[in-house]
Amino acid sequence: MVDHRTNADAIAAVLRAAGVRRAMGIPSGQVLALIEALRRQDIEFVLVSHESTAGFMADVLGRLTGVPGVAIATVGPGATNLTTGIGNALLDRSPALAFTGQVPLAQLHRRVQMRIDHQALFGPLSKASYQLTGGDVAGQVAAALRLAVAEPPGPVHLDLPEDVAIAPAADASAPPLFQPGPLDESPPPAESDLARIADRLRRARRPLAALGFSLYRTGALDALRRFLEAQQLPFVTTNMAKGVVPEDHPLWLGVVGRARRKTIEAYLAQADLVVGIGYDPVEIGYEEWIPPVPLVHVAGEPADVDPTVRVEAQAVGRLAAALHWLAGLPPRTTEWDPAEHARFRARLEASLRVPGRGFQPWEALDVMRELFPRDGILCCDVGAHTHLVATQWRVTVPETLLVSNGWSSMGYAIPAALAAKLAYPERPVAAVMGDGCFLMMAGEMATAARLGLPIPFVILNDRALALIKVKQERRQYAYSGIDLPLADAHFPAHYFGVPLRVARSAAEFRAAFAEALRAQGPTVIEALVEPELYSTILYG
């Protein structure tokens, strides 16, 4: 019997064996063979309204499941559209594969319709960019999967000329085995380096831990918690690290670089040592918030700091191994006062809830946190509201807040919510965003409606790009290019088939959000909030 298996079939078989169950994108002639091969492998192709959504969804699926998410785009404009979501996967450290269709091999170096150099385009936005020109295509895709999950994880780009896709596969061997989840083959930190950190910690009177989102990839959060509790180490986190230790823990002191940052930094100034653990500066550099005290750094990569930061010791290597070593240190006492921590947290909570005219953003978040299950996944977009969510929204179950912080791309929350609900259909998923973010991705309401995903999409509509407004105020610039005023008082009944509820008060919002959580499909809730709060809390 003649084997008519094509390279597209080989790719699909490898993806299926790796655990891929869906791919996102927009069809075109150059990728139809791949989409058909995926269908034959029972891999769902999820049609989206814009290729950037496919990239964001691949990022989130990879981050949540450990199996690289797959995004597919056509040559030229499809590829350029895809780059925003794939850049997110690079800086937010999510495993993903980006497939782009390409012109036939004979046209690769010609000036023809739609063709651009995809390797030059994706090179700085991925861990690697490969052109699949034949040979062992299945092996190349398997290697890309492995590279995507290797520490630190990220996206890999694969360019597929249309004639290569339909060409016979080199062989019909079984797809290589693939183990989902992070792959950290680095050696453990040197024990002498860990011992130096332990010695420096032992001599500190008021040490402080700064936790980064690399910790989520270790599988050693229990060891982290044992270490913090045994050493009486109060801790702050970056935004993406929220929940690595539950934020109702008595040692929790907040999130660095976000709402009420000066309030938090003033309290942290009492520390005499900062212990950075799993800290990735792609979120926020140490120098942007650290008090003028020494730093010791434990992570998979060396500390990346400016000259103002005093790094006294580093332990670089497999982070899980370091955490288990640190968890074995003997318990100790410090001069921190737990009652003082509690009083600080109470002041911090109160400082966020600034009274004002009309419906306030913090009121909407309080309602959401009260009604939303603790194990539900909240997807947060980028803007002024992100700062408030970071400080106000308590994460007590790991990986239940998804936010773009390394890339910090507006338009993230809607695709993230779609992907999260596809990954975990049994768990509640909601999205929160500003009005500018919604405008970027409003077309994906058609996707949400078509998929029938029961997601509340909450718009904190303050009628402006509020974060930019605050930055213009701080620099004493005139307001320019920030206004998003309501055209009139007549709101549509729906967005592309997704019903709209408008809330002008906390009571109206409570009713709308509760109803959306019970709905069988998606709901948009437009909360008409007042923005003055942000001028007070973002940098205060």
Tallying the residues shown for the chain, one arrives at 540
Q: Please report the pLDDT score of residue 536 as a whole number.
A: 83
Predicted local distance difference test score (pLDDT) of residue 45: 98
Overall average pLDDT of the 366-388 stretch: 97
Q: CA dihedral in degrees (422, 428, 431, 432; nearest 10)? A: -170
> Which amino acid is located at 315 in the chain?
A
Amino acid symbol at 33: A
Percent of the chain clearing pLDDT 70 (strictly above): 97
Topology of the domain comprising 7-166: Rossmann fold (3.40.50)
Element spanning 144, H or E: helix 137-149
C-beta separation of 212 from 280 below 8 A: yes
- End-to-end CA distance of the chain, in Å? 73
Higher pLDDT, 310 or 179: 310
Bridge pairing between strands 44-47 and 96-102: unpaired
Three-state SS at 295: strand
Query: Does the structure show a pLDDT above 50 at 424?
Result: yes
Residue range 56-62: mean pLDDT, rounded: 98
3 state SS of 254: strand
Q: How many C-beta atoms surround the C-beta of residue 438 within 10 A? A: 26
pLDDT at position 350 is 95
**Tell me, which fold does domain 353-537 have in CATH?**
Rossmann fold (3.40.50)
Domain spans of the chain, in order of start: 7-166, 191-337, 353-537
Residue 97 CB neighbours (<10 A)? 29
- Using CA atoms of 486, 492, 498, 502 in order, give the dihedral in degrees to the nearest 10: 60
Nearest to 239 by CA among 206, 292, 279, 287: 279
Q: Give DSSP secondary structure letters for 115-142.
A: ---HHHHHGGGSSEEEE--SSSHHHHHH
Q: What is the tens place of the pLDDT at every residue in 263-295?
A: 999 999 999 999 999 999 999 999 999 999 999
- Asked whether the predicted pLDDT for residue 149 surpasses 80, the reply is yes
CA–CA distance, 509 with 507 (Å, rounded to integer): 5
pLDDT-derived band of residue 102, with 50, 70 and 90 as boundaries?
confident
**What is the reported pLDDT for 483?**
76
Q: pLDDT at position 104, please?
A: 79
Helix, strand or coil, per DSSP, at residue 29? helix
Cα dist from 222 to 21, 327, 328, whole Å: 30, 9, 12
**Sign (positive or negative) of CA dihedral 253, 255, 257, 263:** negative
Q: What distance in Å separates the CA atoms of residue 31 and residue 137, rounded to the nearest whole number?
A: 16
- The tally of CA atoms less than 13 A away on the side-chain side of residue 118 is 30
Higher pLDDT, 377 or 105: 377
| pTM for this entry | 0.94
Question: What are 6-36's pLDDT values in tens digits?
Answer: 999 999 999 999 999 999 999 998 999 999 9
pLDDT digit string (tens) for 399-423?
999 999 999 999 999 999 999 999 9
DSSP per residue, 195-248: HHHHHHHHH-SSEEEEE-GGGGGSS-HHHHHHHHHHTT--EEE-STTTTSS-TT
Q: Between residues 208 and 531, which one has the greater pLDDT?
A: 208
- Residue type at position 461: N
**Residue 509: left (phi > 0), alpha (psi -120 to 50), or beta?**
alpha
Mean pLDDT of 300-319: 96
Tokens, residue 37: 């091969």
In 212-351, DSSP assigns E strands to 235-237, 252-255, 273-277, 295-299, 311-316
Strand order in the sheet with 273-277: 252-255, 235-237, 207-211, 273-277, 295-299, 311-316
CA dihedral 468, 473, 478, 484 (to 10 degrees): 40
Q: Is the pLDDT of residue 508 over 50?
A: yes
- The neighbour count for residue 379, using CB atoms within 10 Å, is 27
The helix or strand, by DSSP H or E, that contains position 500, with its residue range, turns out to be: strand 498-503
CATH of the domain spanning 191-337, picked from 3.30.360.10, 3.60.15.10, 3.40.50.1220, 1.20.20.10: 3.40.50.1220
Question: Mean pLDDT throughout 209-231?
Answer: 97
429-470 tens-digit pLDDT: 999 999 999 999 999 999 999 999 999 999 999 887 777 777
Tokens in use for 138? 């299945």
What value does the mean pLDDT take over residues 100-121?
Answer: 84
Question: What does the pLDDT average to over 334-351?
Answer: 97
Kindly tell me the burial class for residue 3, based on how many C-beta atoms sit within 10 Å of its own C-beta (0-12, 13-18, 19 or more): exposed
Cα–Cα distance measured from residue 254 to residue 236, given in angstroms and rounded to the nearest whole number: 5
Q: Could you tell me the CA-to-CA distances from 282 to 82, 252, 255, 278, 300 in Å, in that order?
A: 21, 22, 15, 12, 14
At 366 the pLDDT is 98
Orientation angle between helical segments 384-392 and 338-352, nearest 10 degrees: 150
User: Which helix (DSSP H) or strand (DSSP E) does residue 402 occupy?
Assistant: strand 401-403
Question: Token match 């380096």: residue?
Answer: 193
